[in-house]
Amino acid sequence: MKRKIRIAIPSKGRLSQPSIRALQHAGINILRKERTYVSETSDPRFEAVFARAFDVPIYIQYGAADLGL
C-alpha cells in the first residue's frame, strides 16, 4: 500500500476555513474529529495534518507534510 499524501492545514485562525473550502472545491472533504491533529479525507489518497499557520512550512521542510495550504 502506498503512503498517503499529507496536506498541512492551519488548525485555526483566518486561514483555516479558506483552506478547508479550497480543498472542498477540489473534491476533498476533511473528516475531522475534535482534538485530532491528523484527519482522514473523503479521498483515500490524502490525509490532513492540522498545525499552526506559522508551522505549516516547517512541517513541509522536515517531511511531516507533503504540501501545505
pLDDT tens track for 4-34: 999 999 998 899 999 999 999 999 999 987 7
Owning domain of residue 22: 5-68
pTM for this prediction: 0.89
C-alpha to C-alpha distance for 61 and 13, rounded to whole angstroms: 22
pLDDT tens track for 42-54: 999 999 999 999 9
Q: Is residue 19 packed enough to be buried (19+ CB in 10 Å), middle (13-18) or exposed (0-12)?
A: buried
CATH number, domain of 21, equals 3.40.190.10
**How many domains is the chain partitioned into structurally?**
1
